Amino acid sequence: MVAMSREEELAERLQAVRERIAAAEQAAGRESGSVRLLPVTKFHPASDIATLRELGVTAVAENREQEARDKAAAVPDVDIHMIGQIQTKKANSVARWAACVHSVDSVRLAEALDRGMALAIERGDRPADELPCLIQLSLDGDTSRGGVAADGVDKLADFLANADHLTFAGLMCVPPREWEARAAFSQAAEVLHGLESRFGRTLEFSAGMSGDLAEAIACGSTIVRVGTAILGPRPLP
């Protein structure tokens, strides 16, 4: 048997995930195409991102600043979303290349990103003058793994909504270890709906990964972040 090429492998995996999303949308009674697929490409080479681009993917997600920065330079026609924790000292760099940040978890970080955006715009490092930001919610309140506790969400949302160069785009969550996925996503959705009522507009809900995307979609996810199911096992760093 002839082994599949990497392009064939990615195409097959990508199609399978797209079919899973479509089935989950249908099962949840949602409109087809209401959920956006964001492949997570961490530890995989920039050549995989280029291949995904040929397969119709226009945006991917990364966890680590330096790796993401290098890939943004290597494949400039694909948007890179930052979904990992960000050190405040890295905010200037993230502001130069990120199309969106899903992991804003403090006013201090948001302030640094806003300053980084102002600097990037002044230097001509990016064409867009606003950076969409999602708040990462910590459902169990353990912020050591990233995220802001529910009682800090409103303050952070207010800052993002009023920042000069940031826009408040929505909420991101990862179910805490040992939590049942659907219960976690349902709880996060309640927080999201409260924010939508407060701001009077629809917000993005970044929730669901390879193993729990159906549960996330059932709870209203608009963006699923899928790595292994598309890219396969991560190569050793």
Q: Supply the pLDDT for residue 144.
A: 80
* Cα separations in angstroms, 56 against 17, 79, 123, 135: 14, 12, 31, 27
Dihedral, 61, 67, 69, 75 alpha carbons, nearest 10: -70
Q: What's the pLDDT band for 237 if we cut at 50, 70, 90?
A: low
Amino acid letter for position 103 = S
Whether the pTM exceeds 0.85: the reply is yes
Give tens-digit pLDDT for 38-70.
Answer: 999 999 999 999 999 999 999 999 999 999 999
Backbone angles phi, psi at 105, to 5 degrees: -135, 15
Q: What is the mean pLDDT of residues 160-165?
A: 98
Distance CA 155, CA 143 (A): 16
What sign does the dihedral 60-63-67-70 (CA atoms) show? positive
Read off the DSSP letter of residue 137: E
SS3 59: strand
Give tens-digit pLDDT for 194-218.
Answer: 999 999 999 999 999 999 999 999 9
Half-sphere exposure of 75 (CA within 13 A, CB side): 22
The whole-angstrom distance between residue 55's C-alpha and the CA centroid of its chain comes to: 20
* Cα separations in angstroms, 237 against 67, 85, 163, 233: 11, 18, 36, 12
Amino acid letter for position 170 = G
Distant-in-sequence, close-in-space partners of 56: CB < 8 Å, separation ≥ 6? none
Residue 82: which of 113, 56, 111 has the closest Cα? Answer: 113
The full set of domains in the chain, from first to last, is 33-231 (3.20.20.10)
Percentage of the chain surpassing pLDDT 90? 91
Read off the DSSP letter of residue 4: P
